[in-house]
Structure 1
Amino acid sequence: MLTSTLLAAATAPLQWSPSIGIIMILANVIAIAFGKSSIKYPNSEPALPSANFFGGFGVPALLATTAFGHILGVGIILGLHNLGRF
């Protein structure tokens, strides 16, 4: 029963294109900017090899912001695909 419901809700597959990559990059940049202004301890240990290159983030902050950026990017991409833009 659940499988047939999931198959009925499935959409056409989404092909990768450079515009999708740009949307994902922009979503990650927005998430990093949001994290830079809202994370209380962005430089917690373990530190990255070149912290200045990564905006002063430690490993936990970098992983958190990029994970949030990917979730944000997937939501934008799938939303636009659902609207028929891709």
Structure 2
Amino acid sequence: MFLSLLAITPASVSWTPKVALVMIICNVIAIAIGKATIKYPNEGAKMPSASFFGGMSHGAMLGCTSFGHLLGMGAILGLSTRGVF
């Protein structure tokens, strides 16, 4: 049964600068979405340089970058399935 589950997993992509660029773009998009939709983005612990991080708190930035990594994972796997990478 375990071997049949291994056959389902997608092939991973080796790291290239293209993969990094896709992940960075997805994180920037996620931060923009978070900045526009989080009701209280500056609630909680502050980031070291508030102007650099857009005034977002530590929790808001962590949530946005987590969402960005989920978007990036989907984008990278989707692009690799389409043959872009």
Q: Which TM-score bucket, shorter chain as reference? A: over 0.9
In the TM superposition, 1:4-43 aligns within 5 A as 4-43=3-42
* Alpha-carbon offset, residue 50 of structure 1: 1.0
SS across alignment from 1:9: coil
* Seq. identity, %: 52
**Structure 1: 5+ residue stretches without partners:** none
Aligned AA (2:67): F
Q: Could you tell me how far apart the structure 1 residues matched to 2:28 and 2:35 are?
A: 10
Aligned-partner SS, 1:30: helix
Deviation of residue 7 (structure 1)? 1.6
**What root-mean-square deviation, in Å, do the aligned CA atoms of Structure 1 and Structure 2 show?**
1.1
Name the TM-score, length of structure 1 as normaliser.
0.91
If the length of structure 2 is used for normalisation, what is the TM-score?
0.92
Q: Bigger relative contact order, structure 1 or 2, given CA contacts below 8 A and separation 6+?
A: 2
Moved over 6 A (4+): none
Give the superposition deviation at 1:11: 4.0
Gaps of 5+ in 2: none
Q: Distance in 2 between matches of 1:57 and 1:76?
A: 25
1:1-86 aligned within 5 A:
1=1, 3-86=2-85
Give the secondary-structure state (helix, strand or coil) at the position aligned to 2:72.
helix
Give the length in aligned residue pairs.
85
